[in-house]
Chains A and B, each alone.
Chain A
Amino acid sequence: IAGITQAPTSQILAAGRRMTLRCTQDMRHNAMYWYRQDLGLGLRLIHYSNTAGTTGKGEVPDGYSVSRANTDDFPLTLASAVPSQTSVYFCASSTSPWENEQFFGPGTRLTVL
Chain B
Amino acid sequence: AQSVTQLGSHVSVSEGALVLLRCNYSSSVPPYLFWYVQYPNQGLQLLLKYTTGATLVKGINGFEAEFKKSETSFHLTKPSAHMSDAAEYFCAVRTQGAQKLVFGQGTRLTINP
- A residues sitting closer than 8 Å to B (CB atoms) are 4, 31, 33, 35, 40-45, 48, 50, 58, 90, 92, 97-98, 100-102, 104-107
Contacts and interface: CB of A to CB of B under 8 A. Distances in A.
A100 B32 CA distance: 8
B45 A45 contact: no
B43 A100 contact: no
Interface residues of B, number: 23
A40 B6 CA distance: 10
B43 A42 contact: no
Nearest to B49: A100
Q: Which 8 A-B pairs have the closest CB atoms?
A: A104-B43, A42-B105, A42-B103, A97-B99, A43-B103, A104-B44, A106-B43, A42-B106
Among B9, B34, B42, B44, the one with the most A-chain Cβ atoms within 10 Å of its Cβ is B44
Interface of B: 4, 6, 9, 32, 34, 36, 41-46, 49, 51, 90, 94, 99-101, 103-106
Contact of A107 (B43, B46, B106): B43
Contacts of A97: 99
Nearest to B9: A40
A45 B100 contact: yes
B101 A102 contact: yes
Contact of A58 (B42, B100, B105): B100
